[in-house]
Structure 1
Amino acid sequence: MSPDLLILSAGCFVAAFCSGVAGFAFVLVAAAILLHVLPPSTTAPVLVLGSLFVQALATPAVWRDIPWRRLGLLVAAATLGVPVGLLVLVHGPAPTIVAAVGVLLVVYAGFALLSIALRHAPARFDAGARADAAVGFLAGILGGIGGYVGALPAMWTDLQGMEKRAARALLQPFIVAMQAITTPGLALGGFFTAETLLMAASAVPAMLAGTWLGLRVYKVIPAQAFRVVLLGLLLVSGLSLVI
């Protein structure tokens, strides 16, 4: 196996493990590793296919808990946001927007981790449909800009104090739906070449292993530890968007 494929498999394993534990962040973690060694034109389709594959593998574990009406609203709003994100990517200050979101994630995750250290109980509230739609729309914009669909919904679930299973039951199918919507666009744009499909296929064993191990950890991890993992990934995700 070539060095590039070894790095690809290693990056996808780490990203799949993180996603298996927390229910999101495959794209952000894998991109932080792979974009240092592979060109974006190669990495983007591999990340989308990998995210779709990993999240689809893990979704059956929370199938019975999926809030279908709420999920449908998030997906619909995000789908409307994707074209806006694509327009921003082509004509607007996309790097500035992404960096601003990164700062938001860093500030929120840092504050929440500090609250945990100080033993402050997280707030718990039920958001309305309008707030969910706004979060979904903004997530769609970020998805159109760079495929970052999971970060804001993950922050939203933590902000509401959702239990770990309820958070995953919303996050994972949302990411699956959005990546399923993104995939045909990449295919029509000619991004799925024989090389990228071969690279994605070569990383499947690593993604399977990472997802399996991540789900094993998720099943035994306490709720507070799960929240620390989620916030830690939000912090890392935010930093990766800023740097």
Structure 2
Amino acid sequence: MSATVIAVLLAGALAGGFINGLAGFGTALLALGFWLQVLPPTQAVAMVVMLSVVSGLQGVWIVRREIGANRVRLARFVLPALVGVPLGAMVLSIISAPVLKLVIAAMMILYGGFFILRRSLPHFSRPTPVADAAIGFTGGVLGGAAGLSGAIPTMWCAMRPWTKAETRAVLQPYNVIVLAVAVLSMAFYGHYDAQVLLLIVMVLPATLIGAQIGIAAYRRLEDSQFRRLLIGLMFASGLGLMLRELPALL
């Protein structure tokens, strides 16, 4: 393995860890941009999912009090998601993964672009347990079908008048749990061979350092700034996903 390849892998790990530490999700948004240049897609995705879980655990720790205070709220998202993840695999027999990803990418771009241009952000202040469960389930289905578990929950949480810690106390453990299920599924199908595990060990320190830098930046954000960040990342994630998937269909 050349020094250039190692540098690209470490840069992707650092960038992916940083965005996860900052926003609580988005490792794939930055890491895959680097890793797909030097790795086969299956290896790159397997690494991203594993490192998303590892770096995400650091973010879970910093909002552990908010998680404990809002266990019922978190359960409304997570439990339906666990039902949705295996159903997502069934969706692939009806809709191709690239088409599904492009549909979600378009939603993310429209959502992010619309609210980026608005001065005031939308919010639903009343309790919405049924909607929360439906959003969690939908995220689980999309996670199982296309690896996009965080897209819909992030859009929804950005419209709630929660503090940044309360928002993160839903999104971070939600993504960690759903992606942990994905790791188990990938391990079952043999995606974590000796070479992938070696690469994960190699880039893990950079991921953890990046996450700590991101967490330090997160601590400096105000609640409104954090909501704006989530919306901006939705737009950037959707645009990046569309640019990555669209050429394959043309």
TM-score by length of 1: 0.92
Structure 1 residue 141 and structure 2 residue 141: aligned?
A: yes
Partner of 1:178: 178
Residue 199 of structure 1 deviates from its aligned partner by 0.6
Partner of 2:218: 218
Q: Is the 8 A contact 2:164 2:223 kept in 1?
A: yes
State the Cα deviation string for residues 76-106 of structure 1 (Å, max 9, x = none).
2112211222123355232222211111111
Distance 2:180 2:42 in 1: 19
Stretch moving more, 144-153 or 162-171: 144-153
Structure 1 residue 16 and structure 2 residue 17: aligned?
A: yes
1:53-72 pair list within 5 angstroms = 53-66=54-67, 67-72=70-75
Distance 2:122 2:60 in 1: 26
Distance 2:148 2:34 in 1: 15
Residue 202 of structure 1 deviates from its aligned partner by 0.7
Aligned to 1:159, what secondary structure does the other structure show?
coil
Aligned to 1:203, what secondary structure does the other structure show?
helix
Distance 2:216 2:208 in 1: 12
Aligned to 2:37, what secondary structure does the other structure show?
coil
Residue type of the alignment partner of 1:89: L
Distance 1:96 1:162 in 2: 33
Partner of 1:50: 51
Residue 165 of structure 1 deviates from its aligned partner by 1.0
Aligned to 2:117, what secondary structure does the other structure show?
helix
**For the aligned residues, what is the CA RMSD?**
1.7
Residue type of the alignment partner of 2:164: K
Residue type of the alignment partner of 1:175: N
Distance 1:69 1:121 in 2: 26
Q: Is the 8 A contact 2:83 2:140 kept in 1?
A: yes
CA distance 1:29–1:161, shift in 2 (3 Å): farther
Percent identity between matched residues is: 35
Q: Is the 8 A contact 1:86 1:145 kept in 2?
A: yes
Distance 2:34 2:230 in 1: 19
Partner of 1:231: 231
Stretch moving more, 25-34 or 156-165: 25-34
Q: Is the 8 A contact 2:85 2:178 kept in 1?
A: no
Q: Is the 8 A contact 1:24 1:154 kept in 2?
A: no
Q: Is the 8 A contact 1:27 1:148 kept in 2?
A: no
Residue type of the alignment partner of 2:77: L
Q: Is the 8 A contact 1:41 1:191 kept in 2?
A: yes
Distance 1:21 1:126 in 2: 27
Distance 1:134 1:124 in 2: 15
Runs of at least 5 residues in structure 1 that lack an aligned partner in the other structure: none
State the Cα deviation string for residues 127-181 of structure 1 (Å, max 9, x = none).
4222112111111122112322112111111122322111111111111111222
- The number of equivalent residue pairs is 240
Partner of 2:247: none
1:64-213 pair list within 5 angstroms = 64-66=65-67, 67-116=70-119, 120-213=120-213
Residue 19 of structure 1 deviates from its aligned partner by 1.3
Residue type of the alignment partner of 1:182: A
Distance 2:180 2:28 in 1: 14
Distance 1:44 1:52 in 2: 13
Distance 1:73 1:222 in 2: 26
Distance 1:36 1:126 in 2: 46
Distance 2:44 2:121 in 1: 40
Distance 1:38 1:109 in 2: 30
Stretch moving more, 50-59 or 28-37: 28-37
Runs of at least 5 residues in structure 2 that lack an aligned partner in the other structure: 244-250
